[in-house]
């Protein structure tokens, strides 16, 4: 079953988030996708309440690796669960580039999410310069090795990985289906070197300017199990069209 996640980033108030859910839910009633909405922390309880009993789950866009403590401004995995989230995006490139998210912190966040009962959606992806310099595989290997370094082999398949080439995020420039498929296949092989069964079961998403017009082709690739959608997830009809295409 494909997994389609909406990353709203720093968009939508609580009222706007509720209006989106009211518009989206009837549009995707008959779909057999697993859908995840990642609103602001503040909108998590409302979105979770509106989506309860549907195929739509709620995730957040970050968390701290400790469960509590003197970490001003941070939110922990047990707090997210308590608010109604069941998953969390970790290592999004905007957090890596603008907020100093490190591979070392992700090595602690991913197992902390799993231990608390949240599904981590671990993002990875190369810059344009790295792709042009044939560094894509090296960068993906570093990010995946670090993010999964403290995850036991028998929990690897509980992680969702999102391949998001940075040059395709919010730029309107999508990876070609072949580029996306190759990178997702490379990530699957990395997991396969630790556990054959995890590599067969893990879900690997593509993210980067996914829209209703290109979703079917991207999602039709063998190695791509779903999509992480930014800009096009802000409009209920566009997002529903992507879910329909999956």
Among 230, 241, 242, 245, binds ligand PEP (CB under 6 A): 230
Q: Is 87 in the site for ligand PEP (CB under 6 A)?
A: no
Q: Is 179 in the site for ligand PEP (CB under 6 A)?
A: no
Active site residues: 92, 164
Q: Which tokens in the block code for residue 89? A: 């995006």
Nearest partner of 84 among 134, 50, 123, judged by Cα: 50
Q: In angstroms, what CA-CA distances link 119 with 12, 32, 70, 77, 107?
A: 23, 19, 25, 10, 15
Q: Which tokens in the block code for residue 9? A: 């980033």
Q: Is 208 in the site for ligand PEP (CB under 6 A)?
A: yes
| CB-based closest residue to ligand PEP | 230
Select from 17-25, 62-70, 175-183, 223-231 the region that touches ligand PEP (CB under 6 A).
223-231
Q: Is 210 in the site for ligand PEP (CB under 6 A)?
A: yes
Q: What is the Cα–Cα distance from 204 to 219, expressed in whole angstroms?
A: 11
* C-beta of 93 vs 199, nearer to ligand PEP: 93
Q: What is the Cα–Cα distance from 246 to 223, expressed in whole angstroms?
A: 14
What is the maximum alpha-carbon separation in the chain?
47
Q: How many residues bind ligand PEP (CB under 6 A)?
A: 13
Q: Is 3 in the site for ligand PEP (CB under 6 A)?
A: no
Task: Give the binding site for ligand PEP (CB under 6 A).
Answer: 7, 164, 169-170, 207-210, 228-232
């Amino acid at each position: 079953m494909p997994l389609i996640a909406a990353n709203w980033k720093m968009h939508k108030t609580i009222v706007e988030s509720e209006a989106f859910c009211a518009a989206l839910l009837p549009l995707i009633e008959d779909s057999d996708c697993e859908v995840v909405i990642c609103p602001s922390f503040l909108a998590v309880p409302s979105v979770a309440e509106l989506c309860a009993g549907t195929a739509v789950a709620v995730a957040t866009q970050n968390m701290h690796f400790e469960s509590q403590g003197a970490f001003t401004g941070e939110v922990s995995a047990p707090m997210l669960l308590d608010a109604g989230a069941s998953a969390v995006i970790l290592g999004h490139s905007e957090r890596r580039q603008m907020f100093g998210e490190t591979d070392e912190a992700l090595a602690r966040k991913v197992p902390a999410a799993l231990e608390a009962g949240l599904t981590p959606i671990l993002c990875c992806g190369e810059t344009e310069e790295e792709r042009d310099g044939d560094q894509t595989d090296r960068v993906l290997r570093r990010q995946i090795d670090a993010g999964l370094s403290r995850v036991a082999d028998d929990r690897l398949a509980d992680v969702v990985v999102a391949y998001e080439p940075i040059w395709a995020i919010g730029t309107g420039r999508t990876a070609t289906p072949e580029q996306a498929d190759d990178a997702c296949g490379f990530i699957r092989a990395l997991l396969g070197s630790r556990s054959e069964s995890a590599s067969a079961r893990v879900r690997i998403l593509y993210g980067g300017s996914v829209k209703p017009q290109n979703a079917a082709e991207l999602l039709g690739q063998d190695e791509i199990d779903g999509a992480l959608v930014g800009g096009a997830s802000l409009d209920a009809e566009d997002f529903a069209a992507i879910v329909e295409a999956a």
